[in-house]
Homo-oligomer: A and B are copies of this chain.
C-alpha cells in the first residue's frame, strides 16, 4: 500500500508518500508545496491544488491521509486552514483517491504511543520509524509523515484483525 499524508496550509503544505514495508514504512517522497506570498490569495489556492495534483500524478498513492477538522485553533486560522484543506481534499477526490482523516490525538497515539505527545516527540518517532538521520523539516513535512504512518498502522491493524478473524 502507498499512502500520501498531507498537512495543508496556504503558505506551506507538507506531504509524505510512504510505502508499507516489511517491518517499517518506506519513505518514497517527503517534502512541501509552497505558494508565493506576493500572489493573490485565490491564485495561491489554485497553485496549491495544481502542485498537489502533480504529487498525485507522480507518485500515484492509493489513499490520502489528512488531519480531521479540529476545533482548538482560532477562527482566522481555521478559515485559512480550511481553504487549503478544501482544495487538497477536492483534488484527491477528483483523482479518485479515497481520503482517510485522523484527529491529532489519533496520530500522536499511533506514532508516539501517547495521545498527548508533544510535536517534537512525534517528529523524533517519525525519524526513527522511517530510519532517517533527523526529523523531516519543516514541521509540516514531519506532520504529513505522522499522518501517513498513522494510516499504515491503522490499516495494518485492521488487516491483521481481519486475518485473525478469518483463521480463528
Contact = CB atoms under 8 A, between A and B. Distances in A.
Interface of A: 40-43, 45-46, 48-50, 64, 69-76, 78-87, 89-94, 98-99
B93 A82 contact: no
Closest A-B pairs by Cβ, 3 of them: A82-B82, A83-B86, A86-B86
Given A42-B99, A49-B94, A94-B49, A83 B78 contact: no
Chain multiplicity (copies): 2
A91 to B, nearest CB: 8
Contact of A78 (B42, B64, B78): B78
Q: Which of A40, A70, A84, A89 has the most CB of B within 10 A?
A: A89
Given A82-B81, A86-B82, A86-B85, A99 B40 contact: yes
A45 B86 contact: yes
6 contacts: A42-B90, A49-B94, A69-B79, A71-B76, A84-B86, A86-B86
Nearest to A97: B42
A42 B92 contact: yes
Contacts of A40: 93, 98-99
